[in-house]
Amino acid sequence: MVDVEAAAKEIGVLERFPLGDGLELWKVVLETVREQDLNARSQAPTTFEQLSSTIGNQGRLESLPFCAVTDKGIELISGHHRTRAARKAGLTEVWVLVDVTGLPRDQIKAKQLAHNAIQGKDNPEIVKRIFDSIEDVDAKLEAFIEPDFGAFKVDVALSARELDIDFDAKTVVLMFLPSQHAVLKKAIEALTVKTDEVYVATREEYDLLVDAVAKAGATYDIRSTPTIFAKMAEIVIAQCEADEAAKEEESGQAE
């Protein structure tokens, strides 16, 4: 059992308010707060920079990190990015919510996963490593990880919506049927020498595309966007074939 009074004295708690039910509000020197060795929560660089800027402008944390008193001192359970952003913003003292009940290591890990699961996304490989290291069954349940977690695969494909692109951009995700995708791919091959599955356009080109999709949908009475794209691809293919035929005819007449 951790001696909370001795720990608070050693940590050098600046201010302390009991809240009841094993929770206390502590004002501490930021450098005394110890991060977990593993933390699955990831955050895009631009998001972190914005968080740090906001904290710097406000001069405070508006969402308190949750900690526990252990034999290692005061340990973060959730709020790793908030404390890092606060440190980057120049804060030296922060308020934290502290569990003073003497949480066992498994329960700290379980609460860490549970708090992370409430919001955002985690690194799945690290989630698995933390979850597998929990020995107590009740603590595993408290982590709020899906029951089929054991079948979890760590090979995670990066989707377009997860890319951290630091400029004003719109990401459009469309799902095509196999036949529609084949037509679209053929149209793109007709227009370009080589391509892949990621397309980037300027804002002006995006606006032009939106207008073209709306026009094609109205002209051919199509409501499904992927189907409109497939129809537009058919038109492109037909035009490219017509242009190619015209070039061959011109070439034949020249000879």
Question: Could you tell me the residue ranges of all domains in the chain?
Answer: 4-156, 178-248
Radius of gyration of the chain from Cα atoms?
28
**Four-point Cα dihedral 207, 212, 214, 216, nearest 10:** -170
| Arithmetic mean of pLDDT, 207-235 | 83
Residue 147: pLDDT over 50: no
User: How does residue 174 score in pLDDT terms, banded at 50, 70 and 90?
Assistant: low
Q: Which residues sit opposite 16 in a β-bridge? A: 26
CA distances, 12 to each of 5, 19, 71, 100, 103 (Å):
11, 19, 15, 15, 21
pLDDT for the residue numbered 17: 94
**Four-point Cα dihedral 62, 35, 32, 82, nearest 10:** -20
Q: How far apart are CA 72 and CA 114, in angstroms?
A: 22
Torsions phi, psi of 14, nearest 5? -80, -40
Percent of the chain predicted with pLDDT > 70: 71
Q: Is 66 helix (H, G, I), strand (E, B) or coil?
A: strand
CA distances, 161 to each of 26, 62, 116, 171, 172 (Å):
38, 28, 20, 7, 9
* Span of 10-19, 64-73, 200-209 with lowest mean pLDDT: 200-209
Model pTM score: 0.47
Q: How far apart are CA 224 and CA 211, in angstroms?
A: 15
Residue 163: pLDDT over 70: no
Which of 80-84, 118-122, 158-162 shows the highest mean pLDDT?
A: 80-84
Which of 35-39, 194-198, 228-232 shows the highest mean pLDDT?
A: 228-232
Q: How far apart are CA 166 and CA 162, in angstroms?
A: 12
Higher pLDDT, 142 or 222: 222
Classify strands 93-99 and 73-78 as parallel, antiparallel or unpaired: unpaired
